[in-house]
Amino acid sequence: MKIFLDTADISEIRKVAKWGVLDGVTTNPTLFAKTSGSSYEEVLKEICTITSGPVSAEVVAEDVEGMLREGRAFAKLAPNIVVKVPMSEEGLEAIATFADEGIKTNCTLIFTANQGLLAAKAGASLLSPFVGRLDDINQDGMIVIRELVDIVTIHDLETEVLAASIRNPLHMTQAALAGAHVATLPFKVLQQMAHHPLTDSGIKQFRTDWEKARVALDTQKGSDKAKAAAAPTKPGA
């Protein structure tokens, strides 16, 4: 399963890229609003220099022409830009047009398998069901992931299921087991995945034991040197 970072924070992206686990990045206007000092286009271009994987840039227009205008502008920024389009009748039309033009798309705000099927048929490169938001209204978001993965597999559709709105490490495990091709998650959740209390305490214990061993060894060496220095010199030596 590919791992995308859901952020517009350049420092977070650079850090995860160094871990060797970053396959792409997803952004949206809300995430961009948390940054400062650069335009959305400048942030996107910088992200594309950090990762060669897909970088999703979301349109904000609600009409087809507006979506096409914004999406085409995004696509010119870098070859790995993927235009993020909301699931709607207008979004489907925009996705179909982008597909004809060779522009990759990520259909976002999917909450049912039927919506995902329509987006796939329209030509979306990525399908983004929102797991966490479904859980928020007491629905099992992973059901949509599993259904969409099955549909894509059965009908050999040229798209990938991207588990979005990931809230915790358990969501990541469930998405992987459900067969999601991709999952996008916040930096905080990715950090949580890398840690476990027993791992952290084990590392601390190993370091403590190592320091004790070094001190003991240095003490022994110092004692041996002192003994050697105090030993009487043999006649004729």
Could you list the active site residues? 84
CA 123, chain centre distance (Å): 23
Total Cβ atoms within 10 A of residue 141:
25
Token duo for residue 145 = 């992931």
Closest CA to 99 of 129, 75, 66: 75
Strands 182-185 and 2-6: parallel
Cα–Cα distance for residue pair 174/217, rounded to 1 Å: 48
Residues 6+ apart with CB under 8 A from 211: none
